Structure 1
């Protein structure tokens, strides 16, 4: 009897060893730990390894890679349609608009339990849709803008255009594991639209922009009850101290608002002018008694006196009229005597903004000289003609 028990123990131990060392078991064990996935559902557990993707709200235009572990027939790339749905094997149309990746994993795992026992799923964003945001507040050009943020491309030096370097057609989901596809996608780009890009497409800041108070309003996902949430960042520290934590990544539907200061923030404007946050140059219009009337191109941070000197290097006299049309439909109009020594941001030497109008009026002296010139010019012409004839004969 003892010998029979010993033989049974040996047979059991050999069976367990064969099972553990079998390719199927090793593949299962390897699958459950080897994916650097953004969101993966393994059995009944959901593992979050990349919060930036797990909190991303899915919407029309996104391309998702969904892998059902060990079931390639249920795996592949799926694009979210205009109605916010994806078309999946067995499940057909599934509404995913407004869900995070985490919420989508939970939904699909629950639905696939009708067809698969203990489904193990891996999902990540293979291609991000363009995002449409609103940039408002104290920027030069408020409005809606569309920014591209795509993991299958690279953003060019000007920060606006995305050049594609990889396409979905280059990736074969049947020949690659989820980890291989994730690595191929994630190594192609790691740049997404940020607050910096939003202010930049809004054509930069004004002398009154308060970059220490930039507000971002964002949609909440469906599983959190919807609605919106809001936060405020000190964007100025990005420029002065290089604090990247204040340069938030933007998502579709975000609203970026730059608060307005009651006073001119010249120091901030000069700091920003040393970056590509705002256009390097802008144009104002100078007219009246100057040598070169018309549009004048000036560097950021220029004042009224600099514009006048650019339009008329010679000594100026007389009254100067300054006109600025504000965003609220009001007109800032000033009339003062030109003073070359006026400090920057002084009432008589304001920092200029794109579209400002400067007009140099005639003084009493110059007006008198013009009248004398007009009256005397016929006599001067006749006298010159007389001298010419007299010398000829």
Structure 2
């Protein structure tokens, strides 16, 4: 018995020790693997330089192109603006059609076209000025529709010369809540000469999905920011037609992760899907991230103490607006809520006021810009008004009669 007891004890001890030691060995192996993998990722090969994007920029009317056919033939170098018909003029080739081509596609075609005129052509096409881009934004944004943005923005450096700073204020004057795109648009710097600034005093900023949605007034409480659909024109090499992808802005709103915030191109369509349940936290995050404006204007009328237009936080609800208007009067009727919806229809609701209604509910919705809130009369106030309008002529007569009677006495 003693022997069996000792044997069992030894077996149990060995099992316990192995249970503790083995996981430590596995974890150390995992850590080594992660470190080795990380070291490989930080040492890219020469093939990395060949990662030209398949969805390259597509040339269109209004783009200014610098075209170098060969460094051995500088007389062939031209700077041309693509005209309204999508054409440019080049020496030897005269008028050619370039609209709808990517930079890579145009380089290849020019190489083939000049091969019969010069030896060893090596075309290099560069966009000096990008045309304005037109995008369509639909779905759960404040103001869906067609918007035009600058194709590229020149962002001045702080150490530029005094003469150039006349057009480009110091970055110390920039509101940290504004992104570069908004700052330049608000300060009328759209006409800065990109040729002059690009290599000396500025960097180039390209508008992104964030800028497009911001231009449309930002998200609503029902926006599904994990499903933002983007439809884009495909290039000719890849078969033409259109491409479609779905972006997730969750990490952008929470952590500032810009990996999903891709550049937008001309003729892009952005569709923000809708959630069935309002997200009470989304508007607050949207305001903090500067994709939504901080304030909206609503009109509160009827039986409130301070009727009129109010400027409220974007995350405000109907009850917040009524409180800001001084609160409802003691004797009040139902609330009439009117909103012009994104699809052109009108959302009209009639309900009884309840100060305890849940935020975002049917009786206490999150507000949009230009919403109308009217607190109606009730039975007693209407009755009093009717009695007053009916008896007011007689009140005047009785007062006059009483005055005459007093004089006679």
> 118, 123, 133: which is aligned to 2:120?
118
Residue in structure 2 matched with residue 90 of structure 1 by the alignment = 92
> 218, 223, 236: which is aligned to 2:237?
223
d(CA) in 2 for partners of 1:381 and 1:298? 49
d(CA) in 1 for partners of 2:184 and 2:382? 50
Q: Deviations over 1:20-45 (max 9, x none)?
A: xxxxxxxxxxxxxxxxxxxxxxxxxx
Residue 351 of structure 1 and its aligned partner are, at CA, apart by 1.3
d(CA) in 2 for partners of 1:153 and 1:92? 36
Residue in structure 1 matched with residue 352 of structure 2 by the alignment = 337
Contact 1:318 1:362 in 2 (8 A): yes
Distance 1:86 1:49, change over 3 A: farther
Mapped pair 1:65 → 2:66? yes
Mapped pair 1:261 → 2:262? no
Residue in structure 2 matched with residue 163 of structure 1 by the alignment = 190
d(CA) in 1 for partners of 2:397 and 2:305? 25
Mapped pair 1:309 → 2:319? no
Contact 2:222 2:274 in 1 (8 A): yes
Q: How does 1:134-149 map to 2 (within 5 A)?
A: 134-149=136-151
Contact 1:286 1:295 in 2 (8 A): yes
d(CA) in 2 for partners of 1:252 and 1:119? 30
Q: Which runs of 5+ in 1 are unaligned?
A: 1-46, 172-182
Task: Give 3-state SS (helix, strand or coil) of 2:190's partner.
Answer: strand
Q: For the aligned residues, what is the CA RMSD? A: 3.3
Task: Give 3-state SS (helix, strand or coil) of 1:246's partner.
Answer: coil
Residue in structure 2 matched with residue 29 of structure 1 by the alignment = none
Distance 1:334 1:166, change over 3 A: closer
Distance 1:131 1:329, change over 3 A: closer
Distance 1:150 1:52, change over 3 A: farther
Residue in structure 1 matched with residue 261 of structure 2 by the alignment = 247
Mapped pair 1:276 → 2:276? no
Contact 1:136 1:256 in 2 (8 A): yes
Mapped pair 1:291 → 2:305? yes
TM-score with structure 1 setting the length: 0.74
d(CA) in 2 for partners of 1:151 and 1:374? 64
Distance 1:94 1:54, change over 3 A: farther
Distance 1:162 1:213, change over 3 A: farther
Residue in structure 1 matched with residue 22 of structure 2 by the alignment = none
d(CA) in 1 for partners of 2:281 and 2:218? 15
d(CA) in 2 for partners of 1:201 and 1:94? 36
Mapped pair 1:323 → 2:338? yes
Mean Cα deviation higher: 191-200 or 319-328: 319-328
Q: Which runs of 5+ in 2 are unaligned?
A: 1-47, 157-180
Aligned residue pair count: 333
Residue in structure 2 matched with residue 348 of structure 1 by the alignment = 363
